[in-house]
Amino acid sequence: MPVVKIEGPKITKDQKNRIVKEIIPRLSEIYNIPVQAFVTYVKENELENIGVGDELLADRYNPSDK
């Protein structure tokens, strides 16, 4: 049973549905196993909990909050 983990900023339920409906069928083709064998986890993080280089994403996308 393959496990797909996607971690990033908060997204809508519609975006999560798109991830599952668009990515998992492609992986199913590549692995040559049914889509029902996949488990997908979407972990959402607050932008203030993610740093890139020496900058928090919260500061990059909300510069007025610095």
Each residue's pLDDT tens digit, 34-64: 999 999 999 999 989 989 999 998 998 876 6
Extents of the domains making up the chain = 3-65
Q: Determine contact, residues 44/10, Cβ cutoff 8 Å.
A: yes
Q: State the fold for domain 3-65.
A: Macrophage Migration Inhibitory Factor (3.30.429)
pLDDT at 61: 82
pLDDT at 45: 93
Structure tokens at 38: 């996949």
What percentage of residues in the chain have a pLDDT greater than 90? 79
**Separation between Cα atoms, residue 6 and residue 23, nearest integer Å:** 11
Q: pLDDT-derived band of residue 28, with 50, 70 and 90 as boundaries? A: very high
